[in-house]
Structure 1
Amino acid sequence: MTHSNYHFSDAERRGLYRAIYERRDVRSQFLPDAIPPEVLARLLNAAHHAPSVGFMQPWDFIVIESRSVRETVLALFEQENQKAAEQFEGERHERYCSLKLQGIMESPLNLCITCDRSRGGPHVLGRNSIIETDLFSTCLAVQNLWLAARAEGIGVGWVSILDQEQLRTALNLPEHVYPLAYLCLGYVSEFLGQPELQAKGWRSRLPLNELVHSDSWGQPLGDSPLEAALSEPQERL
């Protein structure tokens, strides 16, 4: 048996890396075109095939097309966004206020991915020590959906500036169900060449070789083959 028995083809591998590198948090480029039901079903199925602690599968998906529901969520965003803007001063405040941080009304579809923290009962295999692994599992479902969406030419934007308790009320969620990710979905006019916050000077991507440690925190890799590989420009497949 050789490793090549499990390799994707070159085309499949390049497609996967392309989705990873070209995935964007979309806020401003949404088109009004509806997502066909069969395409949305594929995205949801991709999310549903994420790994989860103890095979708990804690996620549910609330598909939101109602204008009134989205207007309610937009009002929650605007309230929290005003609070967030007050954390910055001067030029940073002005730059923050110039950023578009949601596409709730512009996108043809909103999707809330929730985490049912009671699913699987009180004792879920693998969750004894780290109770938050149900939330981590649901984040993996979000990423699965996001990468599948990029492969379908669909943009996704995560609206994180929301009070989760107010959002829970707006969506009539039970107490044990946490609204983990409020997403905007839709076809787009373009996928930006780099993350929008980077393009607008908010932050830049950190060098990966400064974030990799050897055996314990703060220990450099030294003159290792990995250090050399990380220092080389990475091919964007």
Structure 2
Amino acid sequence: MPLSPARPVPARIFTQAERQAFYDIVAARRDVRNEFEDRPIAEDVLKRILAAAHAAPSVGFMQPWNFILIRDPARRQAVQAAFAVANEEAAAMFPDEKQAAYRALKLEGITKAPLNIAVTCDRSRGGRVVLGRTHNREMDIYSTVCAVQNLWLAARAEGIGMGWVSIFRPEDLRRILGVPDHVEIVAYLCLGHVSELYDRPELAAKGWRARLELETLVMEEGWTGAAPEEEEDQSPAIR
């Protein structure tokens, strides 16, 4: 089938106030764990947030994402139990002198947040050959991560906090949520209203790791970076 004719339309020019609002939202985004309030997210707000996620770019316009909304306390308790097992495994991976600091961190809000969302990537969507994914099959995963970022920023604009929980055995989460084998679980998110947040990323505020200077990460024309960091330099102790 031939492609239908289309013409570009004039690009919208945003005002200075609109541009600044966007940058303010980016700067104010936080990975929320413990600040969720116990009140539900209104359905119209949730719909706007999900619509923003669905507006994300995707390779070949395959739109590989699905959003599993999880409100049931028993199911969230099962997810939290799966997290607890994996979190203990994760703690043991750190040097002995860092394990206490790791365990002191609050790394999830699964049962405290009123809404959990699992974001998945259907790797079969669009068929066997997808425009733009012919030479890099992971592009559908990257597209789904773009949807997560859109969701995160839209939530912050609506006064909704969001935390991304990544410490799971994938097979445990797949079993609890009944996700089929051809679908990848990309993100497990906790959402809820917030009235207080850290004024900078929580792991920076608690001394786990400082933000890198942007100037040290920008390169011209090719790779000019340093060798990999030594293990002992990667995460300073909490102070």
Give the structure 2 partner of residue 214 of structure 1: 220
Deviations 1:103-138 (A, max 9, x none): 000000000010000000100111011000000000
How far apart in 2 are the matches of 1:150 and 1:143?
A: 11
Matched, 1:100 2:98: no
Paired amino acid for 2:80: L
Give the structure 1 partner of residue 23 of structure 2: 17
TM-aligned CA deviation for residue 27 of structure 1: 0.2
TM-aligned CA deviation for residue 54 of structure 1: 0.2
How far apart in 2 are the matches of 1:73 and 1:178?
A: 17
Matched, 1:138 2:144: yes
Give the structure 2 partner of residue 165 of structure 1: 171
How many residue pairs match? The answer is 217
Paired amino acid for 1:155: G
Paired amino acid for 2:217: L
User: Matched residue of 2:198: which SS?
Assistant: coil
How far apart in 2 are the matches of 1:54 and 1:82?
A: 40
TM-aligned CA deviation for residue 189 of structure 1: 2.9
How far apart in 2 are the matches of 1:190 and 1:149?
A: 15
Matched, 1:179 2:203: no
Deviations 1:50-106 (A, max 9, x none): 000000000001000001110110011000000000012344111101000000000
Matched, 1:152 2:175: no
How far apart in 2 are the matches of 1:161 and 1:46?
A: 26
Give the structure 2 partner of residue 72 of structure 1: 78
How far apart in 2 are the matches of 1:28 and 1:71?
A: 16
Q: Which of the numbers 127, 130, 143 marks the counterpart of 2:133?
A: 127
User: Matched residue of 2:112: which SS?
Assistant: coil
User: Matched residue of 1:19: which SS?
Assistant: helix
User: Matched residue of 2:196: which SS?
Assistant: coil
Give the structure 1 partner of residue 5 of structure 2: none
User: Matched residue of 2:93: which SS?
Assistant: coil
User: Matched residue of 1:33: which SS?
Assistant: coil
Q: Which of the numbers 120, 140, 143 marks the counterpart of 1:114?
A: 120
Give the structure 1 partner of residue 61 of structure 2: 55
TM-aligned CA deviation for residue 166 of structure 1: 1.5
For the structure 1 residues 214 and 66, does the alpha-carbon distance in structure 2 shift closer, same or farther, using more than 3 Å as the test?
same
Alpha-carbon RMSD: 1.5
Paired amino acid for 1:144: N
User: Matched residue of 2:32: which SS?
Assistant: coil
Deviations 1:166-223 (A, max 9, x none): 1111100111111110000000131210000000000000011011111111179xxx
Paired amino acid for 2:214: L
How far apart in 2 are the matches of 1:219 and 1:33?
A: 47
How far apart in 2 are the matches of 1:42 and 1:142?
A: 14
Unmatched segments (≥5 aa) in structure 2 = 1-10, 227-239
TM-score (structure 1 length as normaliser): 0.89
Q: Which of the numbers 40, 43, 53 marks the counterpart of 1:37?
A: 43
Give the structure 2 partner of residue 228 of structure 1: none
How far apart in 2 are the matches of 1:204 and 1:138?
A: 27
TM-score (structure 2 length as normaliser): 0.88
How far apart in 2 are the matches of 1:50 and 1:6?
A: 18
What fraction of aligned residue pairs are identical, expressed as a percent? 54
Paired amino acid for 1:10: Q
